[in-house]
Chain A
C-alpha cells in the first residue's frame, strides 16, 4: 500500500479514531443499561423489589441482635434495616473485619425466591470509622444518605473509645 496524501491520511486517522471512540461509548452505554447493578436500601427493596436472581446491592445497617451463625458453621444470617424496612440476608464466608451489629454494610448479591437476600460479598469501608474530625460536616452532609449515616455512628464509636482511659 502506498503512503497516503498527508491531508487524506490525517482525515482517515481521525475518522478511524472517532469511529473507535464513539463505538466504545455506545458499547459502554449499552452494556451499562444491562450490567450495572442497582443499589437498594431496605425500604426501596420492600416497596419495589428487584427481580429474583438479578444482581443488585443492598445497603443499610445490621440490626442489633439479628446476627446468627447457621449449623454449617460458615453461613451467617442477619437483618439489614434502614429504620423503615428490614431485609433478611444470608452470607456464606468470613465477614469483613468492620462488620459488626449496628454497623453499616453493603451486600452484593441477589434476592432469592423466599425474600431472603443471598450475598456473595459483604463490603465494609476499610477506613470507615476513621476520620472523626469531619463529624460536624458529616452529619449535615450525609443525613439524607442512609449508608453514610451509618458511618456517623461508627465515628461516634471511635470518638467514645478515644475518650476512654487506656
Chain B
C-alpha cells in the first residue's frame, strides 16, 4: 500500500509539473488570464507531492518491505536503522527520486516566497524549472521506478554495499544533490530572465541565495567525500582525480564563478550576459556529472550502477536542456543590454579575471575527464591522472589565487594599484618568508613549494579587507568572504604540506614487534577477532608513541561483511594538532607476521578544516544577504526606493577603507 501511495504521489507530481510548464508558458502572453495564476500553486503542490513520495520510500526502507524490488536489492533486515534509511538514496532509483524531490521542494519554496522578480519572469522561471523536472519524472516513471514490486516478496534483502555503510558517506550523496539541485534552480532563473529579457540586479539578488546555498552544499559534499575516500578506502590519499570526484568538482568550479559574477551583477549591474552563461554552464556541469556517474560510461573506482540504457536517457536529457538553454542564450544574449562599465583595474576586473581562470580550470578538468572516453571511441584506452591534472590545473590556479588575495582590496568600478600596495606587499612578504623557510628545510618539489608560499600570502591577505574597519560594523557577508578566502589558504596549506612532508612506512611486524614512521613508534600488541551488527573483523591493537609522549591505543580493522559478502579496510587515525598518523592492518603472512601500513601526514587535517571554513564563509554570506534582503524589502515596502538603493550600495562598498 505504501509503495502504491508513493507511486501515485509521484505520478500526480509529474502531472502537476506538466501543468506548471503549460501554464507558465501560456502565461507569457499578455491576455493569459487565470491560467497564469495557476503556476505558483502548481509548483507548491508539486513540491508537497514529491515530498510525500520520498517519505513513502523512506518508510519502505525503514520497515524493510521486501516485496519492493528496490528494498530487496539494497537493504537487509540486519542493518542498523540509519543505514536502512540511507539505503533509500544509496542506489540509482532512490537517489534520482531524492533529486526530483529536492528540486520540487525548492520550486515550491520559490513559488511561495520569491516576490522580488516581475511576475512574468517568475512564471518563466517556474516553467523552466518544470521543464527540467518533467525530464526527471519521466526518467523515474519510465526507466527507473523506485516503487516497483517483486512478483513475490524476497526472503531477505541483498544488503547495502558495506563501503557505503559509513555515517560519513550515508549523508554525502544527499549533500551533493542539494548542491546540484540548487544549481538547477539557478539555471531556471537564468532561462526565465533570458526569456523575458529581465537580466537585472534584482534577478541576480533573487538567484544569489540559491547559488550560495548550492555552493555551500557542494563545498561540504566535496570536503566530506574527500575525507571519506581518505579514511575508508585505506589508501591514505585525499584526492584521486577520479571521474566521480571530478563530477562534483566541475559544478563547484562553475558555481564559484557564478557566485562571484552574480555578486557583480547584484551590486554593480555589470556582467549580465556572462552571469546568465555561467548559470547555464553550472547546471550543465551537474548534468554532465550525473551522466558520467550514472551511465556507467566510465570505469571508475567509484562507479555506481552500470546501465547503458539509463545513460542514453540522461544523455538525451543533457542534450535537450543544455542544447535548449544554449539555443535560447544564442538567440537572446545579444538583446541583453550592456551593463555598467568598469576599468580593468577594479574589483570587477579582478572578479572577471578569477571567473576566467575558474572557467579555464573547469575546461582543463572537463577535457581530462572526457579524454579517455574520446580515445576509447578510437579503441585506444588511456587513463588521465595526477601527472596531467596537477601541473596543468596549477598553471591557472596559482595566478587565480594571487589575484584572489588582492581583488577584495580593490574598489568597484575604477581603482589604482598604488592604493593597495601596502597590503599587497605585506602578503608578498609572508609568501616569500614561507618560501625561504621551506627552501631551507629542503627536499620539497615545485608545486607543494609554491602552494605553501601562496597559502601563507593568501592567509595574510584574506584578513586585509578588515584592516582599518570597526570589526563590529563589518557586514556579515564581508565576514563570510574573509572566512571563505582564509579557508582556501588553510586548505591549500594542508594539501601542500601533505604532499611535501608525508612519510610512509610499510612493514611486516610480528606480535610484540614495532615499526617507525616519522617521529612515531608503533607497536603491534595483538590482533583479535571482533564482531559488529552485520560484520566480523580482525582488529589490530596498536600502541603509537610520538617522540617521548605517552602511548595511544588504536585499532585498525579488516572487516568482513556477510551480506553482501565483502571485505573492507577500516583505517585507524591518531589526530594531533600538527598532523595525522594513519594506520592500516593488512593480511597475515605465512610466517605469522602482520602487514602494517603507516603514514605520518603533517597538517593533513587542514585540508578539511579549510573546506569547512569555506562552507562556513558561504553560510555567513548567505545569512548576511538574506538579512539584508529582508531589510531592503521592508524599506521598499514603505515606498522609499532611494534609501533601498543606498542600502544595497552600502552593502557593496569596497571592503578596504583606505
Interface residues of A (CB under 8 A from B): 1-6, 9-10, 12-13, 16-17, 20-21, 23-25, 27-29, 31-32, 35-40, 55, 57, 69, 72-74, 92-98, 106, 108, 121, 123, 125-127, 129-134, 137-138, 141, 147-148, 157-158, 161-162, 166
Contacts and interface: CB of A to CB of B under 8 A. Distances in A.
Contacts of A106: 299
A123 to B, nearest CB: 5
Interface stretch (B389-397, B422-430, B451-459): B389-397
A35 to B, nearest CB: 4
Contacts of A35: 384, 387-388
Interface string B290-326: 0000000001111111111100000000000000000
Closest 9 CB pairs of A and B: A73-B508, A39-B381, A94-B586, A24-B360, A97-B567, A35-B388, A36-B382, A28-B367, A35-B387
B306 A95 contact: no
Contacts of A108: 383, 385
Most chain B CB atoms below 10 A, which of A3, A6, A121, A141: A3
Contacts of B508: 72-74
B597 A127 contact: no
Contact of A3 (B308, B341, B356, B597): B341
B8 interface: no
Given A1-B344, A32-B368, 15 more contacts: A4-B344, A36-B388, A73-B593, A93-B506, A94-B234, A94-B587, A96-B569, A97-B568, A125-B300, A125-B301, A125-B303, A126-B163, A137-B308, A141-B308, A166-B562
B414 interface: yes
Nearest to A27: B392
Contacts of B413: 3
A137 B345 CA distance: 58
Contacts of B364: 24, 27-28
23 contacts: A1-B344, A6-B341, A9-B342, A20-B357, A27-B364, A32-B371, A36-B375, A36-B384, A38-B380, A38-B382, A39-B381, A73-B595, A93-B506, A94-B234, A96-B569, A97-B569, A98-B566, A131-B306, A137-B307, A157-B565, A158-B565, A161-B564, A162-B158
B307 A134 contact: yes
Given A32-B388, A39-B383, A97-B567, A134 B306 contact: yes
Contacts of B597: 93-94
Contacts of B590: 69
Nearest to A141: B308
Nearest to A158: B564
Size band of the B side of the interface? Answer: 35 or more
B233 interface: yes
B434 interface: no
B232 to A, nearest CB: 9
B28 interface: no
A128 B359 CA distance: 34
B163 A129 contact: no
A73 B591 contact: yes
Prevailing SS type, chain B contact patch? mixed
B158 A132 contact: yes
Interface string B267-297: 0000000100000000000000000000000
Contact of A134 (B305, B375, B381): B305
Contacts of B274: 13
B363 interface: yes
Most chain B CB atoms below 10 A, which of A28, A74, A141: A28
B201 to A, nearest CB: 17
B52 interface: no
B575 interface: no
Nearest to B366: A28
A32 B566 CA distance: 36
A36 B360 contact: no
Nearest to B362: A24
Interface in B404-436: 413-414
A73 B306 contact: no
Nearest to B342: A3
B352 interface: yes
B514 to A, nearest CB: 14
A162 B342 CA distance: 67
Contacts of A31: 388, 391-392
A3 B341 CA distance: 7
Contact of B565 (A38, A147, A161): A161
B511 interface: no
Most chain B CB atoms below 10 A, which of A98, A126, A162: A126
B357 A57 contact: no
A20 B361 CA distance: 10
Contact of B385 (A20, A37, A134): A37
B445 interface: no
A108 B299 CA distance: 14
A69 B594 CA distance: 12
B71 to A, nearest CB: 13
B301 to A, nearest CB: 5
B338 A6 contact: yes
Nearest to B72: A133
Interface string B560-574: 001111111100000
B356 A16 contact: yes
A121 B563 CA distance: 27
A19 to B, nearest CB: 9
Contacts of A134: 305-307
